[in-house]
Amino acid sequence: MKRATLLPVIVVSAVVLLYCIFIFTDTAIPVAELIFVFFPLLLIWMVWQVIRDKGPAYPELREEQEFGYSDRED
C-alpha cells in the first residue's frame, strides 16, 4: 500500500479504536459523540483515497491466456 492510501487507513483505524475505548470505559462521552457524528466523513475520505489510488499497471492478456499472473513468464 502506498503512503497516500496508508495514512487514511491508519487515521480511521485509530479513530475507531479511540471511539471504542471511550465507549467501553465510559470516559470522554462527549468526545465519543463527536467521533460518532464525524465518522461517516472520515470513512468517505478513506474510501475516496483508496479508490483514487492508481495501482500498478498490469499487462494485457494475450489471446491464448485465461489467467494473468504478472509474476510468471509462462
- Tens of pLDDT, residue by residue over 30-39, are 999 999 999 9
- Tens of pLDDT, residue by residue over 4-18, are 788 999 999 999 999
Res 69: pLDDT: 64
Provide the residue type at 50 as one letter: V
Q: What average pLDDT does this structure show over 61-67?
A: 71
* pTM metric for this prediction: 0.67
Read off the DSSP letter of residue 29: H
Res 60: pLDDT: 75
Query: Is pLDDT of 74 > 60?
Result: no
- Report the mean per-residue pLDDT for the chain: 84
